[in-house]
Amino acid sequence: MRLGVMFDRGLPPEQLIPFARELDGTAVDDLWVVEDLGWTGAISSAATALAVTSRLRVGIGITPAPLRNPALLAMELANLARLHPGRLAAGIGHGVRDWMRQVGAAPPSPLALLEETITSVRGLLRGETVTLHGRSVHLDGVSLVHPPAEPPPVLAGVLGPRSLALSGRVAQGTILPEGFSPEQLPALLGHIGAPADHEVVTFIHLYIGPDAREATWDVAVDQAGFLQVRPEEVVMASGSASEAADVVRQMWSAGAQTVAVRPFGADPLSHVTKLLAAL
């Protein structure tokens, strides 16, 4: 059971260094960085976080496949994996379709693109020479000069049943977005249908304090729109420290190997400190 913490996309990028250093001195296992349109790049964020820490695993959640040529993505991931062996987890996903359309990168078949991207990136990271002429990815005898001795795990950040099944087939783990409940996890795991060593990472918002209901409402409304559910159905680790810790424990018990909390508010790491004390 791993505990991760997300560096929220809304935080100023210059806060990443002190944020990562402070987490490195705690019992937290992972630091997760994100890549959303208009915010920050995940590769540069991961490189920065890895360079200023010595213990944390840094997870990328996620790089959108439509924005990343798989050869270049594998080059970047291999570089980080060689510089920081055993401390990188690479998430790749469809990307938000509206954002992909905004930049002219919406693929005709998101499923095909994701499968071909993950398959080719994993092959390149293993040191293979990859030739793939798929529906979206075209590589002809491509290989890495410096493949990592310890390839980082490649996870799929996905949501729908077909994408979850794809993740179970071709990825080494699955990243689930914020908002799901422990009771929903078994059904999602059923769609994945992966072996026991397939890592399931669940993101979840974190806010501890007596004002949790008011403070989390706007976040719940925003995530509800993404998940197409009612705001009341968006599950968070919120309320008192013991209540938040109970939700994290329930996620672990329901089958998530890694729970990555997404703290928000004026002092996000204070919520992490309270959660760790309660756990």
Tell me: cis bond preceding 204? Omega within 30 of 0 counts: no
Percentage of residues in the chain having pLDDT higher than 70: 100
Percentage of residues in the chain having pLDDT higher than 90: 98
pLDDT at res. 18? 98
Rounded to two decimals, the pTM is 0.96
Domains, the chain, with CATH or none: 2-278 (3.20.20.30)
Going by DSSP bridges, is the β-strand pair 199-208/237-239 parallel, antiparallel, or unpaired? parallel
Is residue 45 helix, strand or coil? Answer: helix
CA dist 71 and 14 (Å) reads 29
17-67: pLDDT as tens digits: 999 999 999 999 999 999 999 999 999 999 999 999 999 999 999 999 999
Average pLDDT over every residue of 269-276: 98
The CB density around residue 36, as the number of other CB atoms within 10 Å, is 14
Quote the Cα angle for 275-248-183, to 5°. 155
Q: pLDDT-based confidence at 254, cuts 50/70/90?
A: very high
> Biggest alpha carbon distance in the chain?
58
- Residues in the chain, how many? 279
Q: pLDDT-based confidence at 272, cuts 50/70/90?
A: very high
Backbone conformation region of residue 34, classed left if phi is above 0, alpha if psi is from -120 to 50, else beta: beta
Average pLDDT over every residue of 76-84: 98
Exposed (0-12), middle (13-18) or buried (19+): which is 53, by Cβ within 10 Å?
Answer: buried
Q: What integer best gives the mean pLDDT of the chain?
A: 97
- CA 19, 56, 7, 82 dihedral sign is positive
125-166: pLDDT as tens digits: 999 999 999 999 999 999 999 999 999 999 999 999 999 999
Beta-strand (E) ranges in 99-198? 130-133, 138-142, 154-157, 173-176
Contact 266, 18 (CB under 8 A): no
CA dist 80 and 92 (Å) reads 16
Q: pLDDT-based confidence at 85, cuts 50/70/90?
A: very high
pLDDT at res. 194? 76
Question: Which residue type occupies 10?
Answer: G
Q: pLDDT-based confidence at 91, cuts 50/70/90?
A: very high
pLDDT at res. 196? 85
Which tokens hold the place of 180?
A: 């799901």
Tell me: cis bond preceding 62? Omega within 30 of 0 counts: yes
pLDDT at res. 129? 98
